Amino acid sequence: MAQGCLKCLKLTMCAANFLCFMCGVAVLGFGVYMMINFRMAALTPTLANFNLANMLLISGIVITCVSFLGFLGALKENRCLLLTFFLLLFFLMLVELTVACLLLVYEGEIAELVQKDLNEGLEKARNSTDLSDWDLIQEQLDCCGVKNVTDWEGNVPESCCVTKCNGDNYRKTGCLAKLKTFFEENFLTTGISVIVLCIVEVLGMCFAMTLFCHISRSGLGYKL
């Protein structure tokens, strides 16, 4: 009976980590796609290294590596891999909770930093002929400038207009306000996602440690 339960646990861990691995590959591919097709560095020059594409790439690499360790450790019943998987999940959970707390505590400072960086990005865009990044964000979010159309100081791009520009049909809302609204609307979803992710990680750690203890009692060693 016990052997059957542990075999079921092993297969469950293998299947779950395989699915996570495939999700990681998908996230990694999406990050590469965004890096190639959506170069958003012109919006926030200082924060260019922290854009969505880079975050997706890093997340995809981490997910694939950790899930591969979990899959291989469960499949081969390898104590070393299972312990590494457990420690990585524990570390990732600590990082996620720390980042979530920092975002809540320093919300005002982060908003000011983003606003300052957007202003710098728009100032550079006014003196540039390439406005593809700003055109994309203004059309997608239905906004104009950082606060409003006056940020462009007369050099208003076509993407600021609702239809064809004729001097009075500019988009009324600034992109900073739209971004704030977007994050506020998705705050609950993000919070629930983080909680669910932490629960999954705790379950993964429990499964890994259970399998690890069984292998230790069985004296199977560090076989590959």
What digits encode the pLDDT tens for the residues 41-54?
A: 556 665 555 666 77
Question: Residue 12 region, left (φ>0) first, then alpha (ψ -120 to 50), else beta?
Answer: alpha
pLDDT at residue 37 above 60? yes
pLDDT given at position 108: 79
pLDDT at residue 224 above 50? no
> Which amino acid makes up residue 168?
D
pLDDT given at position 191: 77
Q: What's domain 1-218's superfamily in CATH?
A: Tetraspanin (1.10.1450.10)
Q: 109 is written with which tokens? A: 């400072």
Give the distance, in angstroms, between the CA of residue 84 and the centroid of all CA atoms in the same chain: 23
How does pLDDT run across 55-80, given as a tens digit for each residue? 778 888 888 888 888 888 888 888 88
CB-based burial label for 187 (10 Å; 0-12, 13-18, 19+): exposed
How does pLDDT run across 124-179, given as a tens digit for each residue? 777 776 666 778 788 888 888 888 888 887 777 888 887 776 666 788 888 888 88
pLDDT given at position 166: 66
pLDDT given at position 131: 65
> Higher pLDDT residue, 93 or 224?
93
The average pLDDT across 29-42 equals 70
Is the CB of residue 34 less than 8 Å from the CB of residue 136? Answer: no
Average pLDDT, the chain: 78
Residue environment code for 112-138, b if the CB has 16+ CB neighbours within 10 A, otherwise e: eebbebbbebbeebeeeeebebbebbb
pLDDT given at position 145: 84
Is the CB of residue 27 less than 8 Å from the CB of residue 59? Answer: yes
Closest CA to 107 of 95, 119, 115: 115
The average pLDDT across 190-209 equals 81
